[in-house]
Amino acid sequence: MQTPWEYRYAHRTQKMGSSVIRELLKLTEQPDIISFAGGLPAPEVFPVKEFQEACNAVLREHGAQALQYSTTEGYKPLREMIARHTARYSVEVTADNILITSGSQQALDFIGRLFINRGDYVVVESPTYLGALQAWNAYGAQYISVRADENGMIVDELEAALRVGPKFIYILPNFQNPSGSTLSLERRMKLVELADKYGVPIIEDDPYGQLRYDGEHIPSVVSLDSEFRGPNGGHYSGNVIYLSTFSKLLAPGLRLAWVAAPPEVIRKLVMAKQAADLHTSSFNQYVAYEVAKGGFLDEHVKVIRATYKERRDIMLEMMDEMFPPEVRWTRPKGGMFLWGILPEFMDAAEVLKVAIERKVAFVPGTAFHPNGGGANTMRLNFSYSKPEAIREGITRMGTTLKELLQKNGDGMK
Amino acid sequence: MQTPWEYRYAHRTQKMGSSVIRELLKLTEQPDIISFAGGLPAPEVFPVKEFQEACNAVLREHGAQALQYSTTEGYKPLREMIARHTARYSVEVTADNILITSGSQQALDFIGRLFINRGDYVVVESPTYLGALQAWNAYGAQYISVRADENGMIVDELEAALRVGPKFIYILPNFQNPSGSTLSLERRMKLVELADKYGVPIIEDDPYGQLRYDGEHIPSVVSLDSEFRGPNGGHYSGNVIYLSTFSKLLAPGLRLAWVAAPPEVIRKLVMAKQAADLHTSSFNQYVAYEVAKGGFLDEHVKVIRATYKERRDIMLEMMDEMFPPEVRWTRPKGGMFLWGILPEFMDAAEVLKVAIERKVAFVPGTAFHPNGGGANTMRLNFSYSKPEAIREGITRMGTTLKELLQKNGDGMK
């Protein structure tokens, strides 16, 4: 007889859904669509030559180790390099504070696995990163949304949320995905204090921290937490779990990211990773280390910044020119995304349907709001498309929006 | 104040433990230990030159795609190649039956995620693969152990277990890890029939199927299930979820494996993977496809077989010569492991302590028994150590075992 699979799945599986973003990524594979939907880096900035040299060097010098099983924590020289980099730019850590993961999505999954019992609350910004919601939905999380503005989470509204007793606070402080907002220094300090007051850990997700195009770098939440606590004797043991990634600086196809956290949390994360996939590709860790060890990333990030700054500027200029005055949007100081806000009565998902006919795509904002709302919002990526495509795509979107507003106006007569 | 992390973890985290095998792997890093403990392929058989050529070709011809984000299902040409290979040697499938995972450990994790509610029962062989237990413990599985002998699970004892109402049956039919046993054809057919009778799916884990050194290939459980059900119209939609991997044929450092399953199960697995790590490294998928596409693996597996057959034979010869008559062991027809059985009164963990002083290591069998027992058993790996090291290591073990038996005999006088 046929196996009735649907009745055999666990409770968590019944709630699984495919991501709007991932489904839309399929559209970006049609060559005639201009897609602002995905969150892809520009392939033009991938350091292909450096990868080629690194692959050859790794296979020549470390073939037997790089192709073999490895330790769950990650390749030690890579962890030490990340620790040195973190100590220089953010907070004093050692390799014992670092775990290598297969992309930051895996770190989000492990954090859910470590902390979330079914029904536990997690504090998020509204809107927040969809991938985090997907990861934690699998563990039965519920969400308390705290409103955000152009300076990130409105921390004055956080205290009420903390009194609910959430498992942790999730925050993407730099050039947030999806909104592009950056948490101000004052709010970061308040966040650290409030989290300490209520004993609630902070998950700081920072994929874009180095992709700043204007203004001054703001200290990371983990470094402010460390200062708040005072000298830590060389390795970090505070209240923040910090995530970052090579996906935006080197290449997402490697699936290489890391967690910096107190050693006792790292030890639990290592156990979670052991059960989940043993370890991240040793070969990719060797190759990333080989590419990065001589300081290459410091130079390479300048190329990425210049490329994305130009694309952001072109997108903003074109929106100023082509979008109807009823539509508003953020002007992010870095990262890969900006956030559009349509008039309340418009539904971005309906706009997308028309936009796709015109061969341009974006992500409607609903999915970034775990507790509903945001139907009139949308996320636009500016890192992936080339300048000409951005000009053409924003022109098409402008035309679409004007027509839909016109039609709506007619309907209301 | 200090964050009291231990009180913040979820229920599942309290039960997490580090694997004995993974902890022992750390010992193998000491160059003076001869380790039969890990489950490592021989680095001498890694096709380093072919990897070098493949990396260069991929970066030259597909750099932009291979370094970019990709679809969760996996690189289509690789999935199609696996589907063709599976259709030729096992069961008719299409790319819609295939998901690429980051090693088989990840597939085991996803299967737990898809099916296991806390307290659900899973039927396993006794002993069974430790990595599967680690993966499923995280979801709160309980286990029904069915005894096994040199022909694998004693299927006559399976029916009683199925009447408990387990979520699935887990079986490693070829050269099992840890015991080295192979499930006979007759038992495979009975397994398929019983699973169908009770409507319980089968997870067939087959990392070593191609590593046979003696005797005839036995059809896979998934192919027998397909025959049992009759014509399937080109893609498999039966009762088995089949796992295999490139770790033993190519290199484990890539973390590349696959699941073959009914398309509706693949779709759920894709959603699980999306939330867990978005996708497996695109670069590694391109490289593995590039290495394998011209039929390289068919030739390469002959080299692996010859290497491991020699090592198995040397280990067995040396055991015949050096081990005391009170110790028994299996004579596996393939794979990477054999299984030792000490007299009932001996504890393999105690033997290990003495063996490590003598600079030789193995894995005590207790951890492979989810419901206790097996304290007098041990797993020995024969694929990793070179012939000279096998001779020396087995000599050291033989001496250790004889001394301990002698001492024990003295104690009993």
Chain B residue numbers with beta carbons less than 8 Å from the beta carbon of A251 are: 67-68, 283
With beta carbons less than 8 A apart as the criterion, state whether B100 and B153 touch: no
Query: B152: which strand partners?
Result: B149
Would an 8 Å CB–CB cutoff place A165 in contact with chain B? no
CA angle, A40 as apex, B274 and A279 as ends, to 5°?
45
Mean pLDDT of B209-230: 96
With beta carbons less than 8 A apart as the criterion, state whether A5 and B262 touch: yes
Residue B69 phi/psi, 5-degree rounding, is -55, 155
Query: Is there a contact between B251 and A2 if contact means CB atoms under 8 Å apart?
Result: no
* Closest chain A C-alpha to B366 CA, distance in angstroms: 18
Is A412's pLDDT higher than 70?
no
Query: Is there a contact between B40 and A280 if contact means CB atoms under 8 Å apart?
Result: no
Question: What pLDDT is attached to residue A413?
Answer: 46
What secondary structure, in 3-state letters, does chain B show?
CCCCHHHCCCHHHHCCCCCHHHHHHHHHCCCCCEECCCCCCCHHHCCHHHHHHHHHHHHHHHHHHHCCCCCCCCCHHHHHHHHHHHHHHCCCCCHHHEEEECCHHHHHHHHHHHHCCCCCEEEEEECCCHHHHHHHHCCCCEEEEEEEECCEECHHHHHHHHCCCCCEEEECCCCCCCCCCCCCHHHHHHHHHHHHHHCCCEEEECCCCCCECCCCCCCCHHHHHHHHHCCCCCCCCCCEEEEEECCCCCCHHHCCEEEECCHHHHHHHHHHHHHHHCCCCHHHHHHHHHHHCCCHHHHHHHHHHHHHHHHHHHHHHHHHHHCCCCCEECCCCECCEEEEECCCCCCHHHHHHHHHHCCEECEEHHHHCCCCCCCCEEEEECCCCCHHHHHHHHHHHHHHHHHHHHHHHHHHC
The last residue of a domain, from among B247, B268, B295 = B295
Q: Residue B269 is inside which H or E element, if any? A: helix B263-277
**Whether residue B185 sits in one domain with residue B172:** yes
Chain A residue numbers with beta carbons less than 8 Å from the beta carbon of B10 are: 113-117, 120, 139
E strands, A127-256, are 142-149, 152-153, 168-171, 202-205, 240-245
Q: Is A14 exposed, middle or buried (0-12, 13-18, 19+ CB in 10 A)?
A: exposed
Query: Is there a contact between A272 and B13 if contact means CB atoms under 8 Å apart?
Result: yes
Mean pLDDT of A375-390: 97
Would an 8 Å CB–CB cutoff place A113 in contact with chain B? yes
Would an 8 Å CB–CB cutoff place A131 in contact with chain B? yes
Q: Is residue B332 part of a domain?
A: yes
Give percent of chain A above pLDDT 90: 88
| A202's tokens | 């902070």
- The three-class DSSP label of residue B126 is strand
Lowest mean pLDDT, pick from A175-189, B206-220, B222-236: B222-236
Question: What pLDDT is attached to residue A365?
Answer: 94
Is B412's pLDDT higher than 60?
no
Query: Is there a contact between A22 and B252 if contact means CB atoms under 8 Å apart?
Result: no
Question: What pLDDT is attached to residue A36?
Answer: 95
CA of A51: which chain B residue's CA is closest? B59
**What is chain B's mean pLDDT, rounded?**
94
Count other Cβ atoms within 10 Å, centred on residue B289: 22
**Whether residue B207 sits in one domain with residue B118:** yes
**What is chain A's mean pLDDT, rounded?**
94
Question: How many independent structural domains does chain B possess?
Answer: 2
Q: Is residue A56 part of a domain?
A: no
Is A411's pLDDT higher than 60?
no
**Whether residue A314 sits in one domain with residue A367:** yes
With beta carbons less than 8 A apart as the criterion, state whether B36 and B380 touch: yes
Q: Is residue B59 part of a domain?
A: no
Picking from A1, A2, A3, A9 by the largest number of B CB atoms within 10 A of its own CB, the best residue to mutate is: A3
Query: Is there a contact between A109 and B238 if contact means CB atoms under 8 Å apart?
Result: no
* Closest chain A C-alpha to B199 CA, distance in angstroms: 6
| A6's tokens | 């649907």
Question: What pLDDT is attached to residue B402?
Answer: 97
Query: Is there a contact between B68 and A48 if contact means CB atoms under 8 Å apart?
Result: no
Query: Is there a contact between B5 and A265 if contact means CB atoms under 8 Å apart?
Result: yes
Give CA–CA dist A111/B368, Å, rounded: 28
Mean pLDDT of A3-13: 91
| B37's tokens | 């403990």
Give CA–CA dist A134/B278, Å, rounded: 10
Query: Is there a contact between A274 and B134 if contact means CB atoms under 8 Å apart?
Result: yes
Give CA–CA dist B335/B209, Å, rounded: 8
Give percent of chain A above pLDDT 70: 96
Chain A residue numbers with beta carbons less than 8 Å from the beta carbon of B198 are: none
**Whether residue A215 sits in one domain with residue A84:** yes
**Whether residue B320 sits in one domain with residue B268:** no
Query: Is there a contact between A64 and B56 if contact means CB atoms under 8 Å apart?
Result: no
| CB nearest B138 (choices: A262, A270, A275) | A275
**Whether residue B202 sits in one domain with residue B265:** yes
Using one digit for the tens of pLDDT, what is the confidence trace for A76-121? 999 999 999 999 889 999 999 999 999 999 999 999 999 999 999 9
Question: What pLDDT is attached to residue B235?
Answer: 84
* Closest chain A C-alpha to B309 CA, distance in angstroms: 20
Is A22's pLDDT higher than 90?
no
Q: Is residue B60 part of a domain?
A: no
Would an 8 Å CB–CB cutoff place A19 in contact with chain B? yes
Query: Is there a contact between B71 and A5 if contact means CB atoms under 8 Å apart?
Result: no
DSSP B156: G
Query: Is there a contact between A253 and B70 if contact means CB atoms under 8 Å apart?
Result: yes
Is B262's pLDDT higher than 70?
yes
Chain B residue numbers with beta carbons less than 8 Å from the beta carbon of A109 are: 275-277
Is B30's pLDDT higher than 80?
no
The last residue of a domain, from among A295, A315, A340 = A295
Chain B neighbours among A 267-296 (CB < 8 Å)?
268, 270-272, 274-284
Q: Is residue A283 part of a domain?
A: yes
Computed over its alpha carbons, how large is the radius of gyration of chain A?
Answer: 22
Give CA–CA dist A111/A113, Å, rounded: 5
| CB nearest B16 (choices: A66, A247, A272) | A272
**Whether residue A197 sits in one domain with residue A302:** no
Using one digit for the tens of pLDDT, what is the confidence trace for B90-149? 999 999 999 999 999 999 999 999 999 999 999 999 999 999 999 999 999 999 999 999
* Closest chain A C-alpha to B37 CA, distance in angstroms: 13
pLDDT band at A15 (very low <50, low <70, confident <90, very high): confident
With beta carbons less than 8 A apart as the criterion, state whether B273 and B281 touch: no
Mean pLDDT of A321-340: 98
Length of chain A: 413
Chain B neighbours among A 363-402 (CB < 8 Å)?
none
How many CB pairs (< 8 A) connect A and B? 270
**Whether residue A272 sits in one domain with residue A316:** no
DSSP A401: H
pLDDT band at B156 (very low <50, low <70, confident <90, very high): very high
Would an 8 Å CB–CB cutoff place B255 in contact with chain A? yes
Chain B residue numbers with beta carbons less than 8 Å from the beta carbon of A196 are: 1
Contacts of A270 (CB under 8 A, 6+ apart): A72, A73, A99, B18
Give CA–CA dist B17/A272, Å, rounded: 9
Residue B260 phi/psi, 5-degree rounding, is -115, 125
The last residue of a domain, from among A295, A326, A343 = A295
Would an 8 Å CB–CB cutoff place B2 in contact with chain A? yes
Query: Is there a contact between B67 and A46 if contact means CB atoms under 8 Å apart?
Result: yes
**Whether residue B262 sits in one domain with residue B349:** no
Is B23's pLDDT higher than 80?
no
Chain B neighbours among A 306-365 (CB < 8 Å)?
none
Would an 8 Å CB–CB cutoff place B4 in contact with chain A? yes
**Whether residue A306 sits in one domain with residue A280:** no
| A391's tokens | 């000009």
Computed over its alpha carbons, how large is the radius of gyration of chain B?
Answer: 22
Give percent of chain B above pLDDT 70: 96
DSSP A181: -
> Largest Cα–Cα distance of chain B, in whole Å?
74
Is B26's pLDDT higher than 80?
no
Would an 8 Å CB–CB cutoff place B103 in contact with chain A? yes
Query: Is there a contact between A251 and B280 if contact means CB atoms under 8 Å apart?
Result: no
pLDDT band at B413 (very low <50, low <70, confident <90, very high): very low
Query: Is there a contact between B9 and A72 if contact means CB atoms under 8 Å apart?
Result: no
State the number of CA atoms in the 13 A half-sphere of B47 facing the CB: 25
DSSP A371: T
Supply the CATH number for residue B395's domain.
3.90.1150.10
* Closest chain A C-alpha to B84 CA, distance in angstroms: 24
Query: Is there a contact between A117 and B238 if contact means CB atoms under 8 Å apart?
Result: no
Alpha helices in A293-386 (DSSP H): 296-322, 348-357
With beta carbons less than 8 A apart as the criterion, state whether A124 and A157 touch: no
The residue range of the domain holding B311 is 5-47+298-412
**Whether residue B119 sits in one domain with residue B268:** yes
Using one digit for the tens of pLDDT, what is the confidence trace for B312-345? 999 999 999 999 999 999 999 999 999 999 999 9
* Closest chain B C-alpha to A327 CA, distance in angstroms: 31
| CB nearest B275 (choices: A39, A134, A275) | A134
| CB nearest A18 (choices: B4, B22, B274) | B274
CA angle, B245 as apex, B242 and B248 as ends, to 5°?
135
Q: At residue B249, what is the residue type?
A: L
Return the C-alpha torsion angle A262, A263, A264, A267, nearest 10.
Answer: 130
Give CA–CA dist B19/B131, Å, rounded: 8
Would an 8 Å CB–CB cutoff place A14 in contact with chain B? no
Give CA–CA dist A300/A139, Å, rounded: 38
Mean pLDDT of B193-219: 97
Q: Is residue A202 part of a domain?
A: yes
Would an 8 Å CB–CB cutoff place B254 in contact with chain A? yes
* Closest chain B C-alpha to A135 CA, distance in angstroms: 5
Query: Is there a contact between B134 and A275 if contact means CB atoms under 8 Å apart?
Result: yes
CA angle, B27 as apex, B21 and B33 as ends, to 5°?
125
Q: Residue A381 is inside which H or E element, if any? A: strand A377-381
Using one digit for the tens of pLDDT, what is the confidence trace for A180-215? 999 999 999 999 999 999 999 999 999 999 999 999
Alpha helices in A116-211 (DSSP H): 130-137, 158-162, 185-198
* Closest chain B C-alpha to A350 CA, distance in angstroms: 25
Supply the CATH number for residue B254's domain.
3.40.640.10
Query: Is there a contact between B254 and A281 if contact means CB atoms under 8 Å apart?
Result: yes
Return the C-alpha torsion angle B226, B227, B233, B238, nearest 10.
Answer: -20
Q: Is residue A61 part of a domain?
A: no
**Whether residue B215 sits in one domain with residue B345:** no
Q: Is residue B62 part of a domain?
A: no
Is A410's pLDDT higher than 70?
no
| A128's tokens | 């927040």
Give CA–CA dist B404/B400, Å, rounded: 6
pLDDT band at A321 (very low <50, low <70, confident <90, very high): very high
CA of A21: which chain B residue's CA is closest? B274
Residue B85 phi/psi, 5-degree rounding, is -65, -45
Using one digit for the tens of pLDDT, what is the confidence trace for A208-245? 999 999 999 999 999 999 999 987 777 899 999 999 99
